[in-house]
Structure 1
Amino acid sequence: MHLRKKPMTKKNVLFLCTGNSCRSQMAEGWAKHFHGDTIEAYSAGIETHGMNPHAIAMMKEAGVDISSQSSKLADSLSKVPLDLVITVCGHADENCPSFLTKAKRVHVGFDDPPRLAKEAASEKEAFDAYRRVRDEIRDFIRDRLPDLLP
């Protein structure tokens, strides 16, 4: 007698940020990279600011290509049955669209690389800010995300 394994259903996880240009895009990329077999990762914003070219470059530097991702509004995912919504900035946490409250919601704030880059004294310091946040998001996604899934 052969026991059939029940096909595993991927969990739908949304990373929400204000403009869906940097942090949430990095989180989506890392989630696909580390957990693509168990998670269907999405990212969206309260607004759309377009893809941040520095975020794309810093992720590519780390071996993850997010250049095919796009900046989109959270409303565009209203038909996706989300299991988990992770807000990655305070503004998104405070202004999370009401339809997203049906899913488990967790806030994990990360510094805003574009804001840090504006305050940087040099281009190297600006890119180091992107790298630091990229790596913090990587560590969170790799090490803590599986424990947050419902």
Structure 2
Amino acid sequence: MYKKLADTISTIISVQNISEERKTILQPLIDFIQQKTDNKQEININFICTHNSRRSHLSQVWAQVASAYFNIPNVHCYSGGTEETVLFPKVAETLINQGFNIFKIAESNNPVYAVKYSDNALPVIGFSKKYDSPFNPVSAFTAIMTCSQADGGCPFIAGAEKRIPITFEDPKISDGTAEQTQVYAKRSLQIATEMFYIFSKISQ
């Protein structure tokens, strides 16, 4: 992994300040991943939010990195929304500041980004899409609802084996304020900390 990202991860692992309440919320995803690992099955995780622009992308990226860090095989992380918008540029900027290498691979009103955490690892492909986009798995996945609006607005996710609400406060509340950079960095690190906690609990 890139040195700056490795430094960020070292900080995440050394702190890991997660409340017992949050650990209870995270446990169903740990159980899902452990069951798939025990059965040597593919682990498909689709992180879903309303606009697939902020929290769902941060969750997708950090979960993929955490699985690689702990050498958990066959993990494929995706993201989607109840509607298609755009990956919010501040998310990419935040991840770059935390050590990722990110570049656009397609220019449009909804740009496509490659998010790299290592020179030799496949990049995470980031762009806004609906949760049932052909880019995402159609069956044998768990749906992680990262915002309460999506959780309430999607009573049924076709193809999902399991549906787990793991919601995060939207960093969008800071947009246009002097605290924006700090708020996005804090939310990204919270998500990273929880994803690393989840994968640290998986035994092989």
- Cα distance between partner residues in 2 of 1:100 and 1:64: 32
Partner of 2:180: 126
- Cα distance between partner residues in 2 of 1:80 and 1:70: 18
- Pair 10,102 (structure 1): closer, same or farther in 2 beyond 3 Å: closer
1:45 maps to 2:81: yes
TM-score, normalised via structure 2 length: 0.60
The AA in structure 1 aligned to 2:85 is H
1:24 maps to 2:78: no
- Cα distance between partner residues in 2 of 1:79 and 1:85: 10
- SS in structure 1 of the partner of residue 128 of structure 2: coil
- In the TM superposition, structure 1's runs of 4+ consecutive aligned residues that sit over 3 Å from their partners are 99-102, 145-148
- Pair 28,65 (structure 1): closer, same or farther in 2 beyond 3 Å: farther
TM-score, normalised via structure 1 length: 0.80
1:33 maps to 2:65: yes
- Pair 54,71 (structure 1): closer, same or farther in 2 beyond 3 Å: same
Determine which of 132, 146, 149 is the counterpart of 1:75.
132
Q: Unaligned 5+ residue runs, structure 2?
A: 1-38, 103-112, 115-125
Deviation at 1:147, TM superposition (A): 5.7
- Which deviates the most, 73-82 or 15-24? 73-82
Deviation at 1:8, TM superposition (A): 4.0
Q: How many residues align?
A: 139
Deviation at 1:76, TM superposition (A): 1.1
1:55 maps to 2:91: yes
- Cα distance between partner residues in 2 of 1:147 and 1:117: 35
Percent sequence identity over matched residues? 26
- Cα distance between partner residues in 2 of 1:95 and 1:60: 32
Superposed, which structure 2 residues align to 1:10-21 within 5 Å? Answer: 10-21=42-53
1:88 maps to 2:135: no
- Cα distance between partner residues in 1 of 2:155 and 2:81: 10
RMSD: 2.6
- Cα distance between partner residues in 1 of 2:165 and 2:171: 18
- Which deviates the most, 27-36 or 58-67? 58-67
Q: Spell out, residue by residue over 1:2-45, the C-alpha distance to the aligned partner (whole angstroms, 9 max, x if none).
A: xxxxx943300000000001110111111121114341000000
